[in-house]
Amino acid sequence: MKIVIIGAGAMGSLFGGRLAQAGEEVWLLDVWEEHVAAIRAHGLTLVDTAAETSIRLNATTQADAVGQADLVIIFVKAYATQAAARTAAGLLGPATTVLTLQNGLGNAETLAKVLGAERVAVGTTAMGATLLGPGRIKCGGHGPTHIGSFSGGATPRLHDIATIFTRAGIPTVVDNNANALVWGKLIINVGINAITALTGIPNGQVMANAETRELVRLAVAEAEAVARASGISLPAADYFDQVAAVAQATRDNRSSMLQDVTHRRRTEIDAINGAIVAAGQRLGIPTPVNETLTLLVKTLEKTYLV
């Protein structure tokens, strides 16, 4: 299968590397020229507890160089989804599937408007990775990946994709309730990302301290209330326990938002905690903890974004 990954940061590179190792034709498409150049010259280096592995795969900054894809995976930040959708439009063949594994709300809707809902699949992943530098990533936690059709239901193509992912060491299942998948991942991100970004701690320490544990409990409870008021049938009964499990599984990983703050980049706070605040305002549900976390992260951004 020819797979194009738009957004070759930590997670995009992790998926690309694993899929290339499994024998798939993989293209990493990213605007970071130094990263692309390093991969083209030396391969992508995956660092894990066992060893460092160099993987050869295609990498480019130019979408025109790629051609039509069987599968396009979107891994850009939520605020770049519109641009990624336009790029993906140039990669479509007759049966191309476009899969978003991004954080936050609204990404699938943006892709569907540009590409057509029938092409779009959504998913979540508990895999983890940290970008070490150009051409180098560190593998973080391991966990399941769930994918589903944006339009609902499960198609043979999705099952084929799940099989390919699983064979590549990315255990994947097809789920019929895609909207609930996205909300479930959102609530987990609500409990981890902003807190780690503000404190500088890795995922595993979020539940280790009484103070951050209480922040998790309050933020997650607000997000659960907003989800249920939105009519979402959440797949888990208690997301505090879900956050604890994910934090432990990815204990050595630095969240994507913490990585953004460390590298002085714009964060996805508006699509995560900020999305809970916005939905709560529409529904008349108070979300003071998520509002405070959102304001603090945006204040932190203003210290380095000019």
Answer left, alpha or beta for residue 280, where phi above 0 means left and psi between -120 and 50 means alpha: alpha
Q: What is the pTM of this model?
A: 0.90
Last residue of a domain, one of 134, 156, 176: 176
Q: Is 96 found in the same domain as 8?
A: yes
Name the residue range of residue 287's domain: 180-302
Q: Is 49 found in the same domain as 172?
A: yes
- State percent of the chain over pLDDT 90: 84
Q: What is the mean pLDDT of the chain?
A: 94
| Helix, strand, or coil (residue 108) | helix
pLDDT at 25: 98
Rounded (10°) angle between helices 210-229 and 273-283: 50
Q: Is 184 found in the same domain as 169?
A: no
Q: What pLDDT digit, counting tens, does each position of 3-32 carry?
A: 999 999 999 999 999 999 999 999 999 999
pLDDT at 237: 81
Q: Which residue has the tokens 């992508």?
A: 44
pLDDT at 168: 97
Q: Is 223 found in the same domain as 252?
A: yes
Q: Is 7 found in the same domain as 114?
A: yes
pLDDT at 181: 84
Q: Is 167 found in the same domain as 275?
A: no
Decide if 133 contacts 262 (C-beta within 8 A). Answer: no
Last residue of a domain, one of 143, 159, 176: 176
Closest CA to 108 of 88, 130, 128: 88
Q: Is 163 found in the same domain as 32?
A: yes
pLDDT at 117: 94
Is the per-residue pLDDT at 103 higher than 90?
yes
Decide if 220 contacts 108 (C-beta within 8 A). Answer: no
pLDDT at 49: 76
Element (H, E) at 205: none
pLDDT at 305: 86
- Total domains in the chain come to 2
Last residue of a domain, one of 139, 159, 176: 176
Tell me the two tokens of residue 152.
Answer: 């609902």
pLDDT at 252: 84
Cα(176)–Cα(152) distance, rounded to whole angstroms? 6
Q: Is 121 found in the same domain as 92?
A: yes
pLDDT at 303: 95
Decide if 63 contacts 87 (C-beta within 8 A). Answer: yes
Q: Is 154 found in the same domain as 253?
A: no
Closest CA to 48 of 18, 75, 9, 6: 18
How large is the average pLDDT for residues 252-264?
Answer: 91
Is the per-residue pLDDT at 47 higher than 90?
yes
Q: Is 85 found in the same domain as 20?
A: yes
Q: What pLDDT digit, counting tens, does each position of 194-224 carry?
A: 999 999 999 999 999 999 999 999 999 999 9
Which is higher by pLDDT, 128 or 72?
72
Q: Is 145 found in the same domain as 20?
A: yes
How large is the average pLDDT for residues 71-77?
Answer: 97
- Residue 95 — pLDDT band, cuts 50, 70, 90? very high
Q: Mind telling me the catalytic residues?
A: 185
- State percent of the chain over pLDDT 70: 100
- Residue 68 — pLDDT band, cuts 50, 70, 90? very high
Say which CATH number the domain at 271 has.
Answer: 1.10.1040.10
Would you tell me how many other CB atoms lie within 10 Å of the CB of residue 85?
Answer: 23
How large is the average pLDDT for residues 58-76?
Answer: 97
- Residue 143 — pLDDT band, cuts 50, 70, 90? confident
Q: Which of 72-76, 220-224, 243-247, 271-275 is the least confident region?
A: 243-247
Is the per-residue pLDDT at 177 higher than 90?
no
Q: Is 158 found in the same domain as 47?
A: yes
Q: 172-177: which pairs have CB atoms within 8 A and are 24 or more residues apart?
A: 172/123, 172/144, 172/145, 172/146, 172/147, 173/144, 173/145, 173/146, 173/147, 174/146, 174/147, 174/148, 175/146, 175/147, 175/148, 176/148, 176/152, 177/148, 177/233, 177/235
